[in-house]
Structure 1
Amino acid sequence: MGPGLLGGSMLMALRAGLPGAHLRAWARRPEAAVELTERGFADLASTKLDDVLNGVGLVVLCTPVETMPALAAEMVTLQSVVAPDCVVTDVGSVKETVVTALEDVFARSTYRFVGSHPMAGSERAGLEAARPDLFQRAACLITPTLFTAESALTTVRAFWSLLGGRVLEMSPEEHDRKVARISHLPHVAAAVTALAALHEDPSAAACAGNGFRDTTRVAAGDPALWTGILLENRQEVQASVRAARDLYNELLAILENVDDRALHHFLQNAKTLRDGVV
């Protein structure tokens, strides 16, 4: 549901890894549905939910997080057409608000929902950026709650494993706390770096090397998408930004005092932590 970069890559990976599956895609725009069919992404693609949902056993929501509850509510009105105990998961970058909202919507239906979030993506968007290996070795975070059916959880684990992901499980709250620091903060930091570096002198971009490109790459992501993500997880994002602010203040003090030992220690700590990233 919503075949952009993640949805398109998912369809490509499923086509390769599960060749017997009948794949369907729902798109908001008719031209997107036509492209999906013509390029072989899906066996059926449509803007009509009832056509796409008819008989399906697994649905993956790949729309922006703020649109998921309304889409889920529309799905509930069509629950009679899906397979019994149809499993629903999502790819949302925020979990606590999304899982709470979707569990509430699906509680009055035959759907069985499990929240999830693959740590895969790109600053690029749309089907043209999709690739079948996007989820290979990516951390795929599953966020079950007390309301999660064990059989649905088993299905979602198997799904992300099939796509090549490294499955990790945690609560929605823990997810939002961790992802604010390892995904949302880096996006904010990239945006701040791009603004600080180029706002007063855009011509400095001509001097940019790989360090600047690597550091600011994600700042090229869709502003509309990231506005929704940052606002949905704003409390945890604020906490991570405050932590970054404190470290910037520490660094400023070190530079003002020309303290080479403290500066080396600061940079060494950062290197040690970064070296531990798989």
Structure 2
Amino acid sequence: MVNTLAILAPGLLGGSVAQAARARGAAQRIVIWARRPEVRLALAEQPWCDAVADTPEAAVADADLVVLAPPVTRIAELVERIAPHLAASATLTDVGSVKAEICRHGTTTLAASATGATFIGSHPMAGGALTGWQNGDPELFAGRTCFVTPHDAPDEARLTALVRFWRDLGSEVVTVAPDQHDEIVAHISHLPQVVATSLGNVLGSKPANWSHLAGNGLRDTTRIAASDATMWIDILQQNRDEILRALSACEDELHHFKAALANRDWTDLRARLERGKTWRDSLS
């Protein structure tokens, strides 16, 4: 059990971490800081929150584990702000969906602060259509993958403790390097978002009543196109290079598919359809 868990700038993920930690007994004490005063007042009334701090520095003062949960573009500034105030035994992590730059910055900043605290990145592959801590769910991480992304060679005991924490919240933990994480999620998360959005844009240029004629296949394929644009702009900025590589691979596949269709190469088209089906059937 974590003695004191601090969560900074909780949205859906941060709120769910707090609720899951309380429900599953993963933390003895939970301290939260939010930027807006009215949010802090609301959080103070929640049964899964033991204390609300007025500043991030105060929130992390006695914490064993600190979870940063703001948008990815604001993680670096929070790391710099709290670094001098972390206990030597503290582990600092985040829930951002892009890891390479965040982990490099976090590791370098904590090393420069010389407090003895350690940064190890995390990325739970969980979310929902509704955002905000009010929509937090203590079971959000149950059965979901959580990446843990150590930079270089962190303290093994702290890495093990962080992995155990996410497992205690119900996650299936995968430990990979930050750069490898960004390559993986560019293909399995970011590319599907771009494809769903692009399909929505193509169909949005057609008569409006067409969408009312569609079956569940279109709804399933474009569901994530309804995701928050501001969040995705941040992700696209942070993982631009890996997403561009994933898009190039997708463009190549579409090019070959189009060429096979134009040339009436039904054998090649069948092979592509079968490969796609085999991959989809392999999803658990």
- TM-score by length of structure 2 reads 0.91
Structure 2 counterpart of 1:90? 94
Structure 1 counterpart of 2:43? 36
Structure 2 counterpart of 1:228? 234
Q: Which moved more, 1:92-101 or 1:116-125?
A: 116-125
Distance (Å, rounded) in 2 between the aligned partners of 1:271 and 1:36: 46
Q: Name the aligned partner's letter for residue 102 of structure 1.
A: G
Cα deviations by residue, 1:61-86 (Å, 9 ceiling, x for unpaired):
1111211111011102323xx4x411
Distance (Å, rounded) in 2 between the aligned partners of 1:192 and 1:8: 31
Moved over 4 A (4+): none
Distance (Å, rounded) in 1 between the aligned partners of 2:70 and 2:27: 25
Are the equivalent residues in 2 in contact too, given 1:145–1:171 (CA < 8 A)? yes
The yes-or-no answer on 1:12 pairing with 2:16 is no
Distance (Å, rounded) in 2 between the aligned partners of 1:199 and 1:97: 37
The yes-or-no answer on 1:271 pairing with 2:277 is yes
Structure 1 counterpart of 2:252? 246
Structure 1 counterpart of 2:70? 63
Distance (Å, rounded) in 1 between the aligned partners of 2:16 and 2:260: 45
Structure 2 counterpart of 1:105? 109
Structure 2 counterpart of 1:255? 261
Number of residue pairs matched? Answer: 275
Cα deviations by residue, 1:150-171 (Å, 9 ceiling, x for unpaired):
1210111111110111111111
Structure 1 position 18, deviation (Å): 0.9
Structure 2 counterpart of 1:159? 165
Q: Among all aligned residue pairs of Structure 1 and Structure 2, give the percentage whose two residues are the same amino acid.
A: 36
Gaps of 5+ in 1: none
Are the equivalent residues in 2 in contact too, given 1:198–1:204 (CA < 8 A)? no
Cα deviations by residue, 1:108-167 (Å, 9 ceiling, x for unpaired):
233211111111112431123321111111111111232411121011111111011111
Gaps of 5+ in 2: 1-7
1:179/1:19 Cα in 2 relative to 1: closer, same or farther (>3 Å)?
Answer: closer
1:207/1:37 Cα in 2 relative to 1: closer, same or farther (>3 Å)?
Answer: farther
Are the equivalent residues in 2 in contact too, given 1:29–1:47 (CA < 8 A)? no
Structure 1 counterpart of 2:189? 183
Distance (Å, rounded) in 1 between the aligned partners of 2:282 and 2:13: 27
Structure 1 position 246, deviation (Å): 1.0
Structure 1 position 19, deviation (Å): 6.8
Cα deviations by residue, 1:181-231 (Å, 9 ceiling, x for unpaired):
001101111111111112333333323432222211112112111111111
Distance (Å, rounded) in 2 between the aligned partners of 1:141 and 1:118: 6
1:24/1:203 Cα in 2 relative to 1: closer, same or farther (>3 Å)?
Answer: farther
Structure 2 counterpart of 1:210? 216
Are the equivalent residues in 2 in contact too, given 1:90–1:115 (CA < 8 A)? yes
Distance (Å, rounded) in 2 between the aligned partners of 1:47 and 1:123: 29
Structure 2 counterpart of 1:23? 30
The yes-or-no answer on 1:127 pairing with 2:133 is yes
